[in-house]
Structure 1
Amino acid sequence: MQRKGIVCAWLINILLLIAVISGCSGNTGQAGQDHIKGEVALASDFATYKDVPVNFSTAALDPYEVDPELANVTNKEMFQLSPEAKRLLVENGFVVVPNQHHREFFMLYEINLYDPVPSFITTDSMLHNYHLFFSHLLRVIEKEKLAPELKELTAAMLNISQKQYAALKGSDWENAARRNVGFFAVAEKLLDPQKTVPYQVEQVVEEELRLIENSAGICNSPLMNMGQDLKSPDTLQEDYSQYIPRGHYTTDELLQSYFKAMMWYGRMTFRLNSEDETKSAVLITSALGQSDLKQKWDKIYQPTSFFVGKADDLSYPQYRELLDKTFGTGAGLKDLSSDDKKWAAFMEAAAELEPPVINSIPIFEEDIQPDREGAIKGFRFMGQRFTLDAAVFQRLVYRDVKENSQGERRMLPRGLDIPAAMGSEEAYTILKNEGATQYEGYPDNMNKLRQYIAGLDKGIWTQNLYWGWLYTLEPLLQEKGKSYPSFMQSQAWNRKDLNCFLASWTELKHDTILYAKQIYAEMGGGMAGVDDRGYVEPNPHLYARLAALVDMTRDGLEARNLLAQKDRDSLDRLEQLALTLKTISEKELSNIPLTDEEYELIRSYGGQLEHFWLEALSDIGVDHRSAIDENPAALVTDVATDPGGRVLQEATGNIFEVYAVVPVDGSLRIARGGVYSHYEFSWPLSDRLTDKKWHELLNSGQTPPLAGWTKTFIAQ
C-alpha cells in the first residue's frame, strides 16, 4: 500500500505540472495539490529524507566596507591582484580570478596550506564532493550489479520473444512479435558483440547496429518501422547520436556497452497511435509478467529510480494493470491474440493513460504533425526518467513557446531557465536583458512554472537523489540579507551563486546523462608564526541539505545491499564534514568565535578534499594525485537537442580562484578559495562532446567565452 501511494503521488505530480502549463484550473488541480502536500517521504522506497535544523542569530554581524586601498585589510600584502581584480574586490568584497592550473579543488586548498594563506571554504567545493561520490556510487552499482542483471534479463526476454514469435506466426500479431525479437537482439548485441542474432531479424538488427555505431543522427528506425510506410510522417525517428557514450560511461568497455543498451531500452518507444507497436508492447508486458523476470527488471529499475526518478513514459506497471483488468489475470498469448473485442477495449483504455511530460523523440513541425501527444505517447521497456529541469526546458522551447518578433524560434533553452523557474529574479533578469524571454508564450509559461514549483512540498523535492540535489541547490537562489557578511549582499554575489548553481547542476546532468530524459524542440603543514585562520562561506541551509542528502544516499543504498563498507565510511565522513561546516557557518553568522579545532579543519581542508577525490575514483584505478591530469574536475554534458542539428552543451572547466574579504576576530582579511568555472554553448548534434574531447579543447585554449553576466565578479 505504501508503494501504491508513492506512485500515486508521483503521477499526480506530473498531472499537476501538465495542468499548470496548460493553464488548467479547477477542483481536480486543487485536489491534486492537496494530495501532494499530504504525501511525505516519497523516497521511502529506499530511504527517508531527514531534515537537519539550522539555527543562527540574525543580524549579528556588523556591516563593513573595504577601503579603496585595502588599508583596513590585514594581509593585503600576501596577494598580487590585477587593477581590475582589485577594483572588484573593493567594490563587491570579493572577486573571482580565472586560473588554468587548478585541475581540482584540493590542489588550490593544499597550496593555501603551504603558502600559507587563509582558506575560504566554498559551497562549490562541497557540492563537487557530492558529485564525485554520486558518480562513483552509480558507476560501481552499474558495473557490479546492474550490468550483469541487464545481460541476464535481455537474454531471457529474447528467448521468450522468440517463443512468442513462433507461436504467433501467421497471425495478425506476427509482425509485432518479430519486432520484439529484433528489439532484444539489438540490446543483446550491444551488451555482447559475440552474440548471434536470430536469422529472422538478422538484416534489420544489423541496420540498427550500424546506425548506432555510426552515431548517424536523426533517421527512421529500421526495426521500429518494420512493416510500415517509411515515407509517412508517422514513422518513428531516432536520434542515433544519443548512443555516443558520454559522462562516466567512457571509462571502460562494460560501461560503454551498458550505456548503449540502456539508451536503447530508454529511448525506443512502442507508440500507442500504432496498433502494431502497441501489440509489441503488450507482448513484452506479458513476457515480463513472469516473476523471476519482473524481479530482474525491478533490480535495475528501482535503484536507478532512487538515483534519478521514475520513468516519464508508459511502462510495465501501467500496461500490466490494464492487461489484467481487460483480459483477466494470467491471460496467455491465445487470449491476447484471439479476442478482438477485449483488444479494442484495451486500446480504448490505454488511450486514456497520461502522456509523457517531456518529449525526447524528434518529431515534425506542428503543421505536419499537429498531434504531439499521439506522436510521443507510448511504452518504453526501461524508459528514461521524468526530471523537473527537463520539464521546465520542455515548456520554454518551441512548440510550447512560439516565435519572437524577428520570427525566430527558441529551439534550445538556456541553463538559466532552471534557476529562474525555481524563483531566481536575478536569473530571469539576465535572461530578459539578453532577449531570451521575448518569445511568444515564454513569460506566461515561466510564470506558471514558477507558481507550480513554489508550491511543491518538501516530500516532492526529496523523492529521489536527483530532486534532492536540486533541492540542495535552492539556497543558492535566495538573496542574502543583513545577517550575512557584506560581500554576500551584492548583485555580484547573487551571480556568483548562480554560477555555482549552474555548474553543480551541470555535474548532476553529466552524472545522469543515461537516465534523465533529454528534451527535444521540434524539428602537508604551513609556516609557523603566520596567521592563516580562514573562513567558511556561510550558507548553513545548503550544508544542512547536503548533509541530509548524503544521509539519504547512504541509507537508501545500504538498505538494498548496494553499498560497500569503504563507501559507507566515506559518506559518513562527508556527512560529518557538511554538518561541521554548517556549525561553523552558524557561528560566523552569529558572531561567535570559532575553536582552534574548527580553524584547523579549515586549514587542512585540502587534504580532506584529496582523500574524497581518491576514494571516489578508486574504482577506476586512481590511487595517487599524479593521476589528476587524466581525471580533472572539468566535464561536459549535453542537455537539450535541436533536431535541426545542434545540442546545448553545459560544461565546467578548471577551478577558478575566489578572493573574499572576510571578518575574523574583529578585523578584515583576504581569504582564498576555489569556485567552479561554467560554460554554455551549442555544438553540432553529430559530435556530442565527451569529457575527453572537452579536456582537449580546454588544454588547447579553444574554450567558448564565459557568460557575459559573470563579468560583474570575474576579472583577469
Structure 2
Amino acid sequence: MKTKNILLILLILPACLLTYGQSGFSSDDYVQFLKQSKDMSYQDIQSEHTPAQSYYSGRSVEANPYSWLYFDTIVEKLELTKDEMDLIKQNHFMVSERLEYYSIEQVLQEMFRQDLPLLFTTDLVLQALHMSYDQILMDVEVWIMEPNLIKAIDKMYTDFPDLSGKYDDQPDLLTSLQDVDLYVTMVHSLIHGSLSSPHLIDEATFKEYWDAVQAEQQVNMSLFSSPDRIRRLDFSQFTPRGHYTLEYVYWPEAGKTLENYFKAMMWLGRIDFFMTPPPENPWELPWTKEEIRRMNISAFMLQELLHTHSIMDLLNENDKIITFFVGESDNLTPGEYEDIIAGSSVLAADELLNDAVYDPYYENIEASQDAGQRILSSFFLMDPYSEEPGKLPASFRVMGQKFIIDSYVFSNVVFDRIMYEGVKIWRPMPDPLDAMFVLGNDDALPLLEDELEEYKYASQLEALRYLVDAYDDDFWGESLYNTWLNGIRELNPPYVNDNLPYFMKTTAWHQEKLNTQLASWAQLRHDNLLYAKQSYTGGVGCSYPHVMVEPYPEFYGAIGTFAAMAYDYFKDYEEDSYIFFMIKNYFHSLETIMGKLEEIATYEVQKIPLTNDQMTWLQEMLTGGMASGPPIEGWLANLFYDVEKTREGDFVVADVHTQPTDQFGSVVGKVFHVGVGKLNLGVFLGNSPFDQYKPVAFVGPVMSYYEKITENWNRLTDELWKQDVWDDNLPERPDWTNIYLADKQGNSKVEGRELPGQLFMGTGVETIKPGQLVSSIDIYPNPVNENALIHFILMREASVVMNIYDATGRKVYEVLNKPMMAGEHWIEWSPGDMKEGIYFGVLQAGQSRSVVKIVVQ
C-alpha cells in the first residue's frame, strides 16, 4: 500500500507543478482521474476521444472536378497526372511532391503569373511566421543578448580571484573553488572561441574538458565530482545548429556568426550542479551526502560570484527576453536559489560544511517546488525493475533551458516513465503524434494505435491530455512559444459545420492538417533549439482571380494575439534603433493582417459573401515583384520580417529527443529529428467567397514534414539538411501523409495509416437511400439573382428531367430533359425574366425524385 501511495504522489506532484495557478484545476479530481485511467488499453482511450463528426474516406460516386471553375486551366498549366486527378476525385484535393518549390517567392509568383485562383493556406502564414521569428530572435541575440553575455562572462572570469581569495584559507573548500573555476573558465573560453587560462586548476586538466566539449560527442568523465564518480555528459548538444551557424549579414564585418554565443549558452543552459542525488540504479553506487554537499557548496560559490558587479543584471535582462520568447527555466534558477539561501540563513559557503547548517538548508531544497525539474534532459541510467519512475535531481543552472510542454510530453511517454500493470515498459522513442494528441488533436490517436498497443502507454497519454486540457488562456499567453503552439492547436479538428467545403470533411484533409501542425512545430523547435529543453529517454498584369482563405478563424486570431504580445513587449525598446523599429513595425503589421484574415475566415465559415473592400484587399496581397527589386510586393510582403528571405529556400531541421542507450544498456546515441523540406503545391475544390460561394478550383502552398533518426550522437545542422534536400536524399514522409500525397512522379503512394471514415453518399450530411438514383439538390447561390449552379449526384446512368414550378404549381422553366451519365453534376442556370418570388425545382431520375426550394430576387 505504501508503494502505491508513493507512486501516486510522484504522479500528482508534476501535475501540481504543471497546473500551478491554473483556475479550475482540482488535485482531488486529478487523483480520481488517475485511478480511473490506470492501465488503459488503446480501446479505452479511443472510446474517450471519438471524433465528434465522422470524416469521409471514400465516395460512392467520383466527383467530376471539371465542374469547378478554373479546374481545366489548372490541369493544363500544372499538367496534372492521372493519379493526381484520381486523388482529387476522391478527396476534392491533393498535394503533389512533383509540384515542389524552392521558396515562398517562387510558388507565389508562379501562381500569380498564371492567373490561378489561390487558396490562402495556413501553411503560408506559419511559414512566414517561422521565417520572421527566427530572424527577429537572431537580431535580438546579436544586438542585445550576446553583448550582455560577453560582459557578464568577462566579469565572472575577472572577478573569480576575489571569490577565491575569500575562501583560500579553507582547504576543505578547494575542490568547490576548482569546480567554479572550471565552470567559469570554460564558459569564458566558449564565448571567446579560444582557450582561457584557468585560475586554480592546472591547464592540462582544463584542456581535457575543453577538448571533450569541442569534440561534440557523448563522454564519460567526472565533472564537479571525484575522479571515480563518472558522469555521462552529452557534449553533442554543443554542435552549433539552426541560425547560429549562419553569417549575420547586417554586421559591419564579414563572417559574424553566433556559434560562440550558442556554445556559451549551451554550457550555461545544460551544465548543472546536482543539489539532490540523481536516480539510483543497479550499475552505479548511490551518490553520497558528501558528493552532493560538494556540488551544493560549488553552486553556492557560483551564486556568490554571480551577484558581484551587476553580473546578474546583465543575465537577468537576457533571461527576461528568453522567458518572453520561450518560457520559464526547468531547473533551480539563481533567483530561486537566492530565496532558498535567504530562507536557510546561510551567509557563506563554509557554513555548509557544518551539518547543523547544511541539513536544514538541504531540506529546504528538497521541499522547494522551484528546485525540481520536470523534463529529463540528461543521460541517466534508470532502474528497469523499480516500481516507480526515477526521481530527477534538483538541478542548479545559471541560464537553464526552458520548460516546453511538448518536450514534457515526450519525456513522459518513453522509458522509464511508462508503467503498465506495475512493470516499466521499454519505449525508446516518442512519436510527434503523441504531442499532437496531448495538444488536443484527437485525429492523432488512431494513427498511434500500433504504438499504443505495443508500448501500453495509453494511461500516460491520457493523464498528459488531462493536464494540458486544464490549462487556461494565461498559460497559452505566457510566452511566444506557447502562443505559437496555441495557434497550431487552433488547427485541431473544427466543430461540425456544414458550410465547410467537402475536402475539409475528408480523412485525407484531417491528416493533411496534422502535416501542417507538425511542420510548423518542427520550425518552432528549430527556432528555439538553444533555449528549449530537449527530452531524453532514460537511458505584373497578373492576379489571383479568386482567393479563398483557409477557414480557421481562431487560428488567425491566435497568431494575431502572438503579434500583439510581441509588439507590446518590444514597444519600449530603443526608439532610435532601426532594428527595433523594424521589429515593432513587423508585429504591428502582422496583427493587422491577422485581424482581417480572421474576419474573412469567419465570413467564409458562415457563407457570408465578402464585401468589395475585402475582395479587393485579398486580390492586392501580391502586386508584383522583380529580380531587381523586392521579391514580392503587396501586403503579403508584410507577413515577412525580411521579405528578401522569401527568395531563399528555407529548409530546417531540429533535434527533439535523444535516446542514449538501447534496451540492453549499449550506448547508441540515437537522436530524433524533425524537419521541413520544399514547399509542395496542392489543388483544392472549394467555393469562392468572391462569387456567392460557387464551385472554384484553387491552388495553394503546403509545407512538407519529415522525421529522421540518426545514431552515434549525430545532430543534424541546417546545412546538412539542406544538402540532403538538394541531393533528394530525404527520408520517406510519414506514411499517414500518403492518403493525400502524390509522389515526385505524380503517382499515388502505397497505403499508410489512415483515420477511420465513412463512405460519402450524398451532397451534405444527408445520404442517398438504397435504391435511390439521385441525391438531394443544392443550388448556389440561393437566393438567385442572375446566375446559379445546380448541383446533384446521379448514382447511375438515367434520363433526367428537371423543371421549375412557381408557388401555385405552374411549370415556369425546364432546366433539363436528357439522358445523363452517373456522377456528380453541376448545371449552369439563369432565372432570366422570372419574377421575384419562391419557386421549387423538381428533379426526376427514374423513380427517384428530389425537390429544392429556390428564392429568386
- TMscore range, shorter length: 0.7 to 0.9
Task: Report the counterpart of residue 700 of structure 1 in structure 2.
Answer: 727
Tell me the secondary structure at the aligned position of residue 171 of structure 2.
Answer: coil
Residue aligning to 1:641: 658
Which position in structure 2 is the counterpart of 1:7?
none
Cα distance between partner residues in 2 of 1:413 and 1:479:
26
| TM-fit CA distance, 1:95 | 1.0
The equivalent of 1:352 in structure 2 is: 367
Report the secondary structure of 1:681's partner residue. Answer: strand
Aligned residues of 1:308 and 1:516 also touching (Cα < 8 A): yes
What one-letter code is carried by the residue in structure 2 that aligns with 1:377? Answer: A
Task: Answer yes or no: is the 8 Å Cα contact 1:431–1:437 preserved in 2.
Answer: yes
Cα deviation, 1:2-45, whole Å, max 9, x if unaligned, reads xxxxxxxxxxxxxxxx99995439xx978996842179xxxxxx
Question: 1:93-112 to 2 correspondence within 5 Å?
Answer: 93-99=92-98, 101-112=100-111
Q: Check 1:20–1:128 CA distance in 2 against 1; reply closer, same or farther (3 A cut).
A: farther
> Aligned to 1:713, which of 740, 757, 780?
740
Q: Which moved more, 1:200-209 or 1:540-549?
A: 200-209
2:121 counterpart letter in structure 1: T
- 1:260-291 deviations in Å (ceiling 9; x for gaps): 00001111110023211111111112222347
Structure 2 equivalent of residue 262 of structure 1:
265
Q: Which amino acid aligns with 1:486?
A: Y
Q: Which string of whole-angstrom CA distances, capped at 9 and with x for unpartnered residues, describes residues 523-549 of structure 1? A: 23317xxx8212111111100111111
Q: Which residue of 2 aligns with 1:689?
A: 716
Larger radius of gyration: 2
Which of residues 603, 617, 621 in structure 2 aligns to 1:605?
621
| Larger helix proportion of the pair | 1
Indicate the structure whose relative CO is greater, using CA pairs within 8 Å and at least 6 residues apart: 1
Counterpart of 1:236 in structure 2 is 231
Give, as a single letter, the amino acid of the residue that structure 1 aligns with 2:670: R
CA contact (8 A) 1:656 1:674 kept: yes
Query: Cα–Cα, structure 1 residues 306 and 607, in superposed 2: closer, same or farther, change >3 Å?
Result: farther
Residue in 2 aligned with 1:591? 607
* Candidates 442, 447, 460, aligned match of 1:430: 447
What CA distance in whole angstroms lies between the structure 2 residues aligned with 1:695 and 1:32?
Answer: 37
Contact 1:122–1:673 under 8 Å retained in 2: yes
Aligned to 1:200: 200
The DSSP-based 3-state class of the residue aligned with 1:673 is strand
Inter-CA distance 32–595: structure 2 relative to 1 (3 Å threshold): closer
1:90 alignment counterpart: 89
Alignment partner, residue 389 of structure 1: 406
**Aligned-pair CA distance for 1:559:** 3.7
Return the structure number with greater strand share: 2
Q: What's 1:13 paired with?
A: none
Matches within 5 A, 1:106-185: 106-169=105-168, 170-185=170-185
What SS does the aligned partner of 1:138 have? helix
1:304 to 2:322 alignment: yes
Counterpart position of 1:250: 245
Deviation of 1:513 (Å): 0.3
C-alpha distance 131-283 of structure 1, shift in aligned 2 (>3 A)? same
Give the secondary-structure state (helix, strand or coil) at the position aligned to 2:65.
Answer: coil
Q: Please, which runs of 5 or more residues in structure 1 have no aligned partner?
A: 1-17, 40-63
Counterpart AA for 2:510: N
Q: Shift of the alpha carbon at 1:347? A: 1.8
* Equivalent residues of 2:91, 2:506 under 8 A apart: yes
Aligned residues of 2:441 and 2:493 also touching (Cα < 8 A): yes
Give the Cα–Cα distance (whole angstroms) in 2 for the partners of residues 32 and 675 of structure 1.
Answer: 34
Q: How many residues matched? A: 652
Q: What SS class does the counterpart of residue 451 from structure 1 fall into?
A: helix
Q: TM-score, normalised by structure 2?
A: 0.71
Q: 1:301 to 1:557 in 2, by over 3 A?
A: same
Match of 1:446 in 2: 461
Cα shift readout 1:547-597 (whole Å, capped 9, x = no counterpart): 111110111122455961122112222222211111111222222222444
**For 1:551 and 1:148, how far apart are their aligned partners in 2?**
27
Whether 2:567 is the aligned partner of 1:543: answer no
One of 568, 572, 576 as aligned partner of 2:592: 576
Q: 1:510 aligns with which of 520, 523, 526?
A: 526
String of CA shifts for 1:59-92, please: whole Å, max 9, x gaps: xxxxx99963324212221123222221221222
User: How far has the Cα of 1:412 moved from its partner?
Assistant: 1.2
Q: Indicate yes or no: 2:490 matched with 1:475.
A: yes
- Structure 1 residues 34 and 374 mapped into 2: Cα distance closer, same or farther (>3 Å)? closer
Q: Deviations over 1:472-494 (max 9, x none)?
A: 11121124522422221111111
Looking at structure 1, the residues matched to 216 and 17 of structure 2 have their Cα atoms a distance apart, in angstroms, of 46
Structure 2: distance between partners of 1:440 and 1:342: 46
Identity of aligned residues (%): 23
Q: How far apart are the structure 2 equivalents of 1:564 and 1:19?
A: 50
**CA offset at residue 107 of structure 1?**
1.9
2:301 is matched with: 283
Q: What amino acid is the match of 1:532?
A: P
1:78-121 deviations in Å (ceiling 9; x for gaps) = 12322222122122221111146412223212211111111110
Using structure 1 for the length normalisation, give the TM-score. Answer: 0.85
Q: Tell me, yes or no, if the aligned pair for 2:273 and 2:396 is still in contact at 8 Å.
A: yes
8 Å Cα contact 2:570-2:584 kept in structure 1: no
TM-fit CA distance, 1:607: 5.9
Q: Which moved more, 1:30-39 or 1:257-266?
A: 30-39
SS of equivalent to 2:654: strand
Establish whether residue 36 from structure 1 lines up as the match of residue 60 from structure 2.
Answer: no
Q: Following the alignment from structure 1 to structure 2, what is the Cα–Cα distance between the partners of residues 220 and 496?
A: 43
Matches within 5 A, 1:71-90: 71-80=66-75, 81-90=80-89
